[in-house]
Structure 1
Amino acid sequence: MTMPPTVAALDHLVLTVADIDATLRFYTQVMGMRAETFRPADGSSRHALSFGAQKINLHPATAPFDPKAAHPGPGTADLCFLTGTPLADWQAHLAACGVAVEEGPVPRTGATGPILSLYIRDPDGNLIEISTRADRI
């Protein structure tokens, strides 16, 4: 029996959002991501958020782009982002931005081992986990 093909990394994911501008503000001002406008092959103008070697493409809930998830909708995501910044610094930053921490810091298990996490919500109610690897705490 041959081994199945494998994937190497996550290139991007899509968030379906109620308000593109509010989402761009939150992720740039609170999460430190970079806003981008790009033009796919169909010539339309779309928005994305970049960080590291990844990006989040934004689809408006009123008219998500095809192809799309079977049931796209705002507030359906649960995302975990790794950071090299101490969580105490994040807590101060979130407080200054008026963003409530729902839970944390709490120990969790990430893709490569133990992490310490804070939980917040974005403008659509998506659960956002900000985590440091336990070996970097």
Structure 2
Amino acid sequence: MISHIDHLVITTRSINPCIEFYSPVLGMKVETFGEGRKALIFGQQKINVHEYGNEIDPKAHRPVPGSLDICLISVKPLDAVKATLQQNSINIELGPIKRTGARGAIESLYVRDPDLNLIEISCYV
């Protein structure tokens, strides 16, 4: 019945630092839609960005910054990802470490975004 994820929503305390992390650092495209809403586009998916206290209805039961734990698959090798993170002063919390993704073995780096969401950046091995 379900084929893939179209989009998900991230709740942030501040739109601009959130966009600055996901766009220039992780290479996602910023889209403005609706009445000035923001989204981050990558692959065939997107992340809609909601500001805490100004979420769009309907919304999650308790949308709060820092509650997201997501694994993103990189098109670049993990060494290149690590270099980009270091160039942007992004602290690598863990990794590289072997994990299991939806389609098999992956190698991952773990970082935190400005809202302290856990972001796993991985490559299939």
TM-score (structure 2 length as normaliser)? 0.97
1:45, 1:67 → 2: CA distance? 17
1:45: Cα distance to partner? 2.1
- The equivalent residue for 2:45 is 54
1:127, 1:115 → 2: CA distance? 17
1:29 has 2:7 as partner: no
Stretches of 4+ aligned residues off by more than 4 angstroms: none
The structure where strand makes up a greater share of residues is 2
Q: Any idea what the Cα deviations from partners look like across 1:43-96, whole Å, max 9, x if unmatched?
A: x22000000100000011021110000010000000101012111111111111
Q: Counterpart amino acid of 1:75?
A: G
Q: How many residue pairs end up in the alignment?
A: 125
1:19 has 2:10 as partner: no
Q: Counterpart amino acid of 1:11?
A: D
2:75, 2:27 → 1: CA distance? 13
Matches within 5 A, 1:109-124: 109-124=100-115
- The equivalent residue for 1:3 is none
Q: RMSD in angstroms over aligned alpha carbons?
A: 0.7
Larger Rg: 1
Unaligned segments of structure 2, at least 5 residues: none
1:87 has 2:78 as partner: yes
2:94, 2:85 → 1: CA distance? 13
